[in-house]
Amino acid sequence: MFSLPLLFTMEVWSTGFIAGPLRLLLYGLATFVLLLGYNQYAGLHDDSCWSEVLIDSVEELGLGLLVSVALLWLIGQISSEMSLNEIIGKIVVEAMTVAIGISVGTAQLGLSGDDEKKQKTSAPNEVRFGGQLVIAACGATLFAANIAPTEEVVAIATSLSVAHLLGLMFLSLLLTALILYYIEFAGSKRFVSQNGLTSVFIGTITSYAIALVIAAAVLWFFGRFDQVALFTALAETIVLGLASTLGASAGRLLVQ
């Protein structure tokens, strides 16, 4: 559900055989680190040890690979006529984001009746700052990866003026502050501090910074920075940063 659009996006299929081995390897390693962090701080079980977190993360990667292979074959995007490099590339590109979607979906939809009752009756543990960063990065990745492969990001970025870009940055910061601090989501006090304007400012800037970093990384992976001017790359990051910001903010609240 969280990563289904990627499986039906032509630009993602092409990235699978355009991206080199190093880029695919870095994408896989980054995904695995995010899975480890998410399962540690926001996984299905609050009391998981690191060995259980590692096992869960490996299982999610495996499921991501299986789901990607099955769906890509069903929609005719992998076949025996294709080269092995093209098939592997497509599967890896799709599977990484699918694995993150599986991790988030499991944490949200996988609670049994007893686990849900226990979660409601027990006092929630406060998630530390490092955990919040990881959760925000996962949310930003899910949102950004569904949009970054499309040509529309480049088209929008190249058509905007500096004033438009500044407006997008302001809107992103405003939405971050509203989502994190001024809209009453269930359980939000577990993830954000309510200690005055300083806390609001630091939390907002931090979430937006994570969103921009994730947006830039995802754009780079999908080749959107290849042979473009520095200003265009910056504009693309700001444009995608709006969606990535929503993911980073919601990642600290909604996907829990």
* Residue ranges of the chain with per-residue pLDDT less than 70: 1-3, 42-48, 107-129, 182-196, 251-256
* 104 Cβ contact partners less than 8 Å away, ≥ 6 residues apart: 2, 38, 138, 142, 255
- CA distances from residue 64 to 1, 28, 42, 103, 189 in whole angstroms, order as listed: 12, 12, 19, 10, 32
Among the listed residues 212, 203, 137, the one whose alpha carbon sits nearest the alpha carbon of residue 176: 203
Among the listed residues 153, 103, 115, the one whose alpha carbon sits nearest the alpha carbon of residue 1: 103
pLDDT of 179: 79
Q: How many CB atoms lie within 10 A of CB 126?
A: 11
Q: What is the CA angle 254-3-177, rounded to 5?
A: 30
* 125 Cβ contact partners less than 8 Å away, ≥ 6 residues apart: 46, 190
Q: How many CB atoms lie within 10 A of CB 187?
A: 11
Cα-flanking dihedrals φ and ψ of residue 173, to 5°?
Answer: -65, -40
- CA distances from residue 115 to 43, 183, 222 in whole angstroms, order as listed: 12, 27, 39
Q: Which two tokens stand for residue 61?
A: 């990667």
Distance of CA 100 to the CA centre of its chain: 7
Q: How many CB atoms lie within 10 A of CB 54?
A: 16
Residue 185 one-letter amino acid: F
**The model's pTM:** 0.79
Contact 94, 12 (CB under 8 A): yes
Q: Which two tokens stand for residue 140?
A: 């930003």
Q: Which two tokens stand for residue 108?
A: 């949200």
Block residue for tokens 């504009």? 235
pLDDT of 233: 95
